[in-house]
Amino acid sequence: MQLPLHIASITNTWSQLMALMLDVNVTSSLATINWDNLNSSVNGKLFQYAPFARACFKDAEGVVGAYDANACAFAQAHYSDGQYRDTIPSSYQGLQWETCSSTGESCLLDWMNPLNEAAFAYPKACQQGSIPAYFLEVQSASDVQDAFKFSVETGVDLVVKNTGHEFQGRSARPGSLALWTKNLQKIAYEPAWIPTGCEDIAPRTAVRLEPGITFNDLYAFGEANNVTLPGGSTPSVSATGGYVLGGGHGGLSNTAGLGADRALEFTVVVPTGDVLIANACQNQDLFFALRGGGGGTFGVVMETVTLALPRTPIQVVTLDGLSTDVNTTRAFWKVLVDNSLVWANAGWGGYAAATSLQYINPLPISEEDAQTSMQPLTDFAAQLGLTVIHEQYESFAVFYQQILEPLYAISGFPLSTSSRLLPAQNFETPESREELLDALLNASANHSLTYVFATTPYAYKADNLTSVTPAWRDSLLLIEVLDTLEYNTTASEQREVIEGLSKSMDFLRNITPTSGTYFSESDLYEPDHEKSFWGANYEKLAEIKLKYDPLHVLDCWHCVGWKGRSDQAYSCYP
């Protein structure tokens, strides 16, 4: 995948750009007395935000802000900067969710070359697309309560927006009110934490954090406190929020479990207006739902307590530079398929694609043992004149800061995906492995990217108090096939891409009929999504949804209790 063009120097500042994107005057054409009343009740924390690229457009329709050449240069320079995009409420890391696909309304730059004037030159007009009409900067539980009340009284849709990492557009919706939680930034180390309201529970080492904390923040905090806090690979993703609520996988998941497994307690505002604590001792049904039932569904999480693990060294193996020809890819993936079960049992997890692999192991094994277990990979690489690099890092955070963070810092481009969990039973015999390899190659053919994630909790002993699909537990790999879009891709073209991805994923679905996939990184048109995301847990989740959100104040695409494609809320979907 080509990376976007960046300019070397900039002449503006973040604050200048924000001033152009932000309108604090809630008496604009969109505002009504109800908006004014809400703004008053939340003490002036209600705002309108222009699209990220607003300053580049001389013409605009229905958006705030203004054209400004210097601010445009700043936006162009930071267009693919995920951590900068985090700070902008109206920014989405998947750019298609800043548009209304069905009508073509948008305000995008060309992500491949943000300097390309064809994307923004007059008479091209900047339009709001699917970006919410208003954003409420959440600072307290009462802000959320006021928003819930406002939604019930006015019928205005609510979405929950954090850092904007979206495959499904669940935090974008035209005409909606977004509850923006990014600025909730507290984090605290709890060396002897006991769940609220629990008795006779042994203390555990934990960290208490608010939803605005990203993985970049989390890993640095863990390192400073001599603990390991596992998570994902993209630095600008929220370490709680939708990551944990949807399940949450990463390089350490094989031995440390999913993000949902490590969540020990939530403080959450539910749509009935109650502020509840959910853990293994109280509101256990809500605790179950929040550990994998999906974000933006059961309430707004204000704080999460997550388990902290000891700081330990990790072994790392890296192979890079493989050719993309189909024969090399087949031989490489055959090594992965043939050895995935052995490697998972030995503690390995990580990431691979067609041209590279990086696996990590936090278990106390020697470098010699690590090399021995990875000998099949070493032998394969040697046949091609390549070398597998074996390294030891003093901690996961050190490895992340030196290796993963620079690789995954780029964000802000339109991307569609389809995915599938691959059960261990498909790896058990030579025949089943060959069938799997054929299906994997067929599924990946003619698409931009294919990721092979060894990030399932296969070696982890779960407590059975999570609501993710049980397919996570007996799967060895998560496969994701992706295609990029252009800034001017039409709705019909998007549908063609999404349908093509889904059709390709059928090669894997057909040989894994009882499996499922990851709620947060799935096919936009995922068939039988209730079964795919939650399996046998769905009926229980639907009951919990009705209990805590009886008026259905929160709704999002393919979430528990989803109203369906025909609902007006999804009019912009392709």
Per-residue HEC secondary structure of 319-359 comes to: ECCCCCCHHHHHHHHHHHHHHHHHHHHCCCEEEECCCCEEE
Query: Band of the pLDDT at 112, cuts 50, 70, 90?
Result: very high
DSSP 7: -
pLDDT of residue 107: 98
Nearest to 306 by CA among 235, 249, 229, 410: 229
- Considering only 18-27, 34-43, 64-73, 76-85, which range has the smallest mean pLDDT? 18-27
Residue 233 has pLDDT above 80, yes or no: yes
Give the architecture (CATH level 2) of 187-311+536-565: 2-Layer Sandwich (3.30)
pLDDT of residue 562: 96
Backbone angles phi, psi at 177, to 5 degrees: -105, 120
pLDDT in tens, 53-93: 999 999 999 999 999 999 999 999 999 998 899 999 999 99
Question: How many helices and strands in the chain, by DSSP H and E?
Answer: 19, 21
pLDDT of residue 149: 97
Query: Band of the pLDDT at 26, cuts 50, 70, 90?
Result: very low
Could you give the 3-state DSSP secondary structure of residue 284?
helix
Query: Band of the pLDDT at 4, cuts 50, 70, 90?
Result: very low
Query: Band of the pLDDT at 14, cuts 50, 70, 90?
Result: very low
CATH of 314-394+413-528, one of 3.10.110.10, 3.20.20.70, 3.40.1360.10, 3.40.462.20: 3.40.462.20
Q: Taking residues 545-570, what's their average pLDDT? A: 97
pLDDT of residue 19: 47
CA angle, residues 371, 374, 380, in degrees to nearest 5: 115
Residue 5 has pLDDT above 80, yes or no: no
Task: Name the pTM for this structure.
Answer: 0.94
Mean pLDDT of the chain: 93
Q: Taking residues 92-102, what's their average pLDDT? A: 95
pLDDT of residue 447: 97
Backbone angles phi, psi at 401, to 5 degrees: -65, -35
DSSP 117: G
pLDDT in tens, 448-464: 999 999 999 999 999 98
pLDDT of residue 32: 56
What's at 12, amino acid-wise?
N
Helix, strand, coil share of the chain (percent; to 5): 35, 20, 45
Residue 328, C-beta contacts closer than 8 angstroms, at least 6 positions apart: 322, 384
Q: Taking residues 341-352, what's their average pLDDT? A: 97
Residue-range domain boundaries for the chain: 45-180, 187-311+536-565, 314-394+413-528
In the structure encoding, which two tokens stand for residue 246, read together? Answer: 């949807």
Query: Band of the pLDDT at 312, cuts 50, 70, 90?
Result: very high
State what percent of residues in the chain have pLDDT above 70: 94
In the structure encoding, which two tokens stand for residue 384, read together? Answer: 């091609």
Residue 469 has pLDDT above 90, yes or no: yes
The rounded distance, in Å, linking the Cα atoms of 462 and 528 is 25
Q: Measured in Å, how far apart are the chain's first and last C-alpha atoms?
A: 24
Query: Band of the pLDDT at 33, cuts 50, 70, 90?
Result: low
Residue 30 has pLDDT above 60, yes or no: no
pLDDT of residue 18: 44
Question: Strands (DSSP E) along 210-256, which ranges?
Answer: 227-228
Q: Taking residues 241-259, what's their average pLDDT? A: 97
**Which of 187 and 409 is assigned the larger pLDDT?**
187
pLDDT in tens, 262-296: 999 999 999 999 999 999 999 999 999 999 999 99
Nearest to 452 by CA among 552, 347, 337: 337
pLDDT in tens, 479-500: 999 999 999 999 999 999 999 9
Q: Are 241 and 162 in contact (CB under 8 A)?
A: yes
pLDDT of residue 34: 81
Residue 164, C-beta contacts closer than 8 angstroms, at least 6 positions apart: 85, 86, 91, 92, 93, 94, 97, 171
DSSP 105: B
Residue 20 has pLDDT above 50, yes or no: no
Residue 103 has pLDDT above 70, yes or no: yes
Could you give the 3-state DSSP secondary structure of residue 451?
strand
